[in-house]
Structure 1
Amino acid sequence: MTFMKVAAIGLASALMATSAFAADVTIRLAHLNPEDPFQSHSGTMAAVFKSLVESNSNGAIEVQLFPNGQLGKDNEVIDQVRSGLVESTISSSGGMAQHYPLVGVFDIPFAFPNIGVASQVMTKESSFGEKFVGDLEAKTGLKVLGLIDSGGFFAFTNSKKPIASVEDMEGMRIRTMTLPTHEAIISSLGGQPTPLPWAEVYTALQTGVADGQMNPVPIIAFAKFDEVQKYLSITNHVITPYIWTMNPDFYEGLSDEHKTLVNWAAEVATESGRAMSRVIEASEKGLPLLAEKMEVNVVPPAEQAKFAAAAQPAVRTLIEEQYGAEGIEMLDALLASIEEEKAAY
């Protein structure tokens, strides 16, 4: 099924009414972001999944949604899924890193040339995606339902000045996820990494605990960082995954028919989320909205190359030091997959 066809089916299905029959099975699905499917890709994914599963199971399966981190921090909810307290969650790489550190290989800066290549690589069905998902499932015991980017390429925001060169990063306190690779990126550029959980970011920016942060445009927009940040610098320096997992015992306890439905609905929902991120980026909900309140600058390719020259070796060294030959092998497999997709364009 083509990307656009899957996305169209998913977005249309989100508007369908669900069955009124009593459910035999309940799936509790948690994620960090707003419930509104037009604000975040995980909101889209959850809404589409709920609609498809409930309507196509004739009400036999109920999907209960827990957005906005209602059930706890990202890594805590993954713990709940692993233990069976919650059936499923859509997690950031920061949360997953505490359960599967090799997710950090995605953080090699400026590895992806464009969103098209990123979308082809960062999926369960790609050659690298199959390798990555297989290793994650083997090491965590989780069932992976979907692999998607976190909403687009990361940009920097801050309250001090535009970031137009590596020199502008000097001494700037930048909030990162609790990912050693993200901390290495900021340190290599001369900044001061400030790792904080998602729930604390807005207040940290508001109070000056952190000068800035880095995230994709859709996340910057729905988090309302334009209220506490003055500058938005488009660097496109990294793109990270969101990983959708399910408790494996729960999944195996489903009937074959319901497994097929869950797999299909998750696939459609994931592609719908991917499409929604692109819509948000380009629409009045994304960059145009932020530009009304923030000073926006785009870092040119020549300066991006200087960022890459400083940050790429630091991240590769960290991966080798922390994860050894296994980490380098996984990183090189990712880079090879990127090169394959680049050649196809």
Structure 2
Amino acid sequence: MKRILKGFAILAATAFLITGVAGFAMAEKTIKLHHLNKNDPFDNPTGAMATVFKSLVEAGTNGSVKVQIFPSGQLGKDKDVLQQVKAGVIQSGIHSVGGFASAYPMIGVLDIPFVFTDISKTYSVFDGPFGKKLAADIEKKTGMHVLGFGDSGGFFHITNSKHPITKPADMDGLKIRTMGLDTHKTIISSLGGQPAAIAWSEVYTALQTGVADGQMNPIPIIALAKFQEVQKYLTLTGHLFAPYVWVINTKFWDSLSDTEKAVVQNAAKSAIVAGRGIGRIIEASDRGLPALSKAMKVNALSPKEREAFKQKSLPVVKELIIKKFGPEGKEMLEAFMKAVEQAD
């Protein structure tokens, strides 16, 4: 009887060790994914991206790679979480250009205003050769692998509480909230406005109290933040496209098998498409521009008006980029502009 009990004990211990090792291996194949918004696939682009990614990765790897989502900035500020990804504390993050600039300042090359006229062209640029060139440079400079470039909600537009904007002179003296990027601040100052770098969590209150007169963001973000409650005018400038930058820790990436890498990369591509789609749906639905139009006075710049804004801002921002990033920045900028010109 003692021998039988001893045998069971050995089997139990062996099973425990096997289970423990398997559990450890599984933990090593868990992607902790950060993003800034609610984890609802119908609420915002990053929610859609994260949800689709998790489903496709876990199904495609038959559970050998798990995805654990940390939405709504649970792990900290975007730039701080980026350092966690770089250090391998977490495995992946979908980051705004504002946060990503802390690790890769040359992301500012993308901030040339008024170059895109069609949202579909942004997808051609970032999914094509230029996107691959930019991703390779990011990996070289930061040590993080790029899974792709997502849509943060479409083109940036300007809201304010003072008056309609139809010409650059209408920007004179307006205090406009921007991200803390020199390129974003220069866009506003080149048009005669006063840029104000205010933390995202404080923007609504700043607009409500008059600390800032206006701000710039894509339609879904304007609606999501309910800026129509504290802003009276919306000008559809479409002056900027700022993609999300989706990265994964390179050491973790290298630990995946070739099959797992293929599944993760393809899942990210599909997730980015889903995020783009939900962004366009929100923009056109009663949660986007139609709803904003009921609460704000909306005007779109005509081609002639848009050209006047472009002539004021583009040369100044271009000069800043070349001065700030030198020959390397100039070469990346030229590659970006060429890609935009050639985009379908």
Is TM > 0.5 for Structure 1 vs Structure 2? yes
CA distance in 1: counterparts of 2:222 and 2:320, whole angstroms: 27
Please report how far the alpha carbon of residue 59 of structure 1 lies from its aligned counterpart in structure 2 after TM superposition. Answer: 2.8
Q: Which moved more, 1:255-264 or 1:232-241?
A: 255-264
Instruction: Give the aligned length.
Output: 320
**Equivalent pairs: percent with the same residue?**
53
**Which residue does the alignment assign to 1:6?**
none
Q: Runs ≥4 in structure 1, deviation > 3 angstroms?
A: 21-24
State the AA in 2 paired with 1:184. Answer: T
**Among residues 32, 37, 40, which one is paired with 1:33 in the alignment?**
37
State the AA in 1 paired with 2:249. Answer: N
State the AA in 1 paired with 2:35. Answer: H
**Among residues 295, 301, 313, which one is paired with 2:315 in the alignment?**
313
Q: What do the CA deviations read for 1:204-232 (whole angstroms, capped 9, x no partner)?
A: 22222211110111111112211221211
**Among residues 89, 95, 101, which one is paired with 2:105 in the alignment?**
101
CA distance in 2: counterparts of 1:84 and 1:158, whole angstroms: 41
**Which residue does the alignment assign to 1:60?**
64
Flag the structure with higher helix content. Answer: 2
Asked whether the equivalents of residues 73 and 197 of structure 1 are also in contact (C-alpha less than 8 Å), the reply is no
**Which residue does the alignment assign to 2:233?**
231
**Among residues 287, 290, 301, which one is paired with 1:299 in the alignment?**
301
**Among residues 82, 90, 109, which one is paired with 1:78 in the alignment?**
82
CA distance in 2: counterparts of 1:208 and 1:166, whole angstroms: 21
Asked whether the equivalents of residues 165 and 235 of structure 2 are also in contact (C-alpha less than 8 Å), the reply is yes
Q: What do the CA deviations read for 1:133-161 (whole angstroms, capped 9, x no partner)?
A: 11111001111011123221110011222
Q: Which moved more, 1:253-262 or 1:67-76?
A: 253-262
Please report how far the alpha carbon of residue 57 of structure 1 lies from its aligned counterpart in structure 2 after TM superposition. Answer: 2.7
Asked whether the equivalents of residues 160 and 213 of structure 2 are also in contact (C-alpha less than 8 Å), the reply is yes
Q: What do the CA deviations read for 1:295-322 (whole angstroms, capped 9, x no partner)?
A: 1111211111111111011101100111
1:1-345 equivalences in 2 (<5 Å): 23-24=26-27, 25-123=29-127, 126-341=128-343, 344=344
Q: Which moved more, 1:114-123 or 1:87-96?
A: 114-123
CA distance in 1: counterparts of 2:150 and 2:67, whole angstroms: 21
Asked whether the equivalents of residues 122 and 149 of structure 1 are also in contact (C-alpha less than 8 Å), the reply is no
Report SS of the residue matched to 2:245: strand
Please report how far the alpha carbon of residue 250 of structure 1 lies from its aligned counterpart in structure 2 after TM superposition. Answer: 1.1
**Which residue does the alignment assign to 2:15?**
none
Asked whether the equivalents of residues 164 and 303 of structure 1 are also in contact (C-alpha less than 8 Å), the reply is yes
